[in-house]
Amino acid sequence: MLLNPANYWRKNKNWNNFVGKLGEVVFVTRVEVTSPELQSFLPYCFAIVEMDGERYEFMGEKGIELKKGDKVEFVFRKVSDSNNSSLINYGIKLVLKK
């Protein structure tokens, strides 16, 4: 779902709680059909992740395969496709921590 500018601004106040931190995949699915603004990321993982006893839901970075129990890092990435005149949306995604 595309974030509008106001929501984008409200949400980015929380990014520093995640960027660079580590979590563990609780359950994950590989999404192969999605909304128009996420088409270029397909297929992508969508996971419930646990960090410091709390659970969150995030997309995986394009192309990565995640499975239950994987250690992941929260990173700052583009989260939706934008056209030439719209904002480029960034947010938190997951990458596999080796």
Partner 1 sequence: MKKQTDKNAVREIKSVKIVGSFISDHFGELWDKSLNDLIKEAVFGVLKNVSKDGDFDPKEIEAVYIANMASGIFNNQLHLNAVVSELFEHFPPSIRVEGACASGSLAMITAQDALNSGRYKTVMVLGVEKMTDFNSNEATKVLSSASDYNFEYGSTFPALYALLAKAHMHKYGTTREQLSAVSVKNHAHALTNSKAHFNKLFTLEQVSQSSMVADPLRLLDCSPVSDGSSAVILSTKDSGKLLDGKTVNYKNKPKIIGMGHAQDFLSLANRKSLTSLNATIKAAKDAFKQAGLTSKDIEVAEVHDCFTIAEILAIEDLGFFKKGTGGQATLDGQTTFGGKVLINPSGGLKACGHPVGATGVKQVAYLAELLENGIKVKTDRSKKIMNFKYALAHNVGGSGATVVVHILEK
39 lies in the binding site for partner 1 (CB under 8 A): yes
If the CB atoms of residues 33 and 83 are measured against partner 1, the closer one turns out to be: 33
72 lies in the binding site for partner 1 (CB under 8 A): no
Q: Can you name the residues that pair with 24 across neighbouring β-strands?
A: 50, 71
Backbone φ, ψ for residue 7 (5° rounding): -65, -40
Q: Of the candidates 12, 21, 24, 46, which one interacts with partner 1 according to CB under 8 A?
A: 46
12 lies in the binding site for partner 1 (CB under 8 A): no
Query: Which stretch of DSSP H or E encloses residue 12?
Result: helix 5-12
18 lies in the binding site for partner 1 (CB under 8 A): no
The answer to whether 47 and 60 have CB atoms below 8 angstroms apart is yes
The answer to whether 46 and 31 have CB atoms below 8 angstroms apart is yes
Residues that bind partner 1 (CB under 8 A): 1, 3, 7, 10-11, 27-39, 41, 44, 46-48, 55-59, 68, 79, 91
